[in-house]
Amino acid sequence: MTDANDDLICVGALSGSFGVRGEVRLKSFCADPAEIEDYSPLLSADGKTSYALAIARTVKNGFAVRIVGVDTKEEADALKGVQLFAPRDRLPSLPDDEFYHADLMGLEVYDTGGTLLGRVKSVQNHGAADLLEIQAPGQSATVLLPFTMAAVPTVDLDKGRIIADPPEGLF
């Protein structure tokens, strides 16, 4: 039996209260940030707590949202750092050349010659494009690989691997 949490995708995170009336600041990880409301109610990482939310308004770096059962600033502050998940089956299907970050993490990365380069530790974006953080076997240091068609020509989710053609000298 597969873990039910494998079917949950992180779509946002709460970052504390907004104001004094129980609104919570929300960062959306959706391609269209406002679509996060469409997936409500959202779940905690373990899938046991449900958060029914509605966007009240746009604020700097996210949204101010109302969550059912959260009525005070203190209750909103207590949710700081909570990640919000949606069941995969409620999310849209992606085109063949797009992937959920959760599906990429943990994949083995091989170069075009078949040599294991490492495993995807995380997917990061610092403004320009996605970067795959690759951890080489037996090493604590990581390498950031641009997640572009040139550097990552093949992602094979069925086989759990990525074929990479990294820029010269990166690894």
Residue 121 has a pLDDT of 93
Note the pLDDT of residue 120. Answer: 94
How is 56-69 classified by DSSP, letter by letter? EEEETTEEEEEETT
Q: What is the rounded distance in angstroms from the CA atom of residue 151 to the CA atom of residue 145?
A: 7
Q: Quick: pLDDT tens for 50-76.
A: 999 999 999 988 999 999 999 999 999
For residue 108, the cross-strand partners are: 119, 161
Provide the pLDDT for residue 7. 85
With a cut of 70, which residues of the chain have pLDDT below it? 1-6
**Can you give the pLDDT at residue 152?**
92
pLDDT reported for residue 6? 63
What is the structure's pLDDT at 129?
A: 79
Structure tokens at 162: 């990525």
Q: What pLDDT score does 169 carry?
A: 83
CA-CA distance, 90 to 167, in Å (whole number)? Answer: 37
Residue 118: its pLDDT value, please?
94
Q: Which domains does the chain have, with CATH numbers?
A: 4-90 (2.40.30.60), 101-164 (2.30.30.240)
Residue 119 has a pLDDT of: 95
Specify whether the CB–CB gap between 136 and 143 falls below 8 A.
yes
pLDDT for 110: 95
| Per-residue CA distances from 64 to 25, 93, 134, 154 (Å) | 5, 27, 34, 39
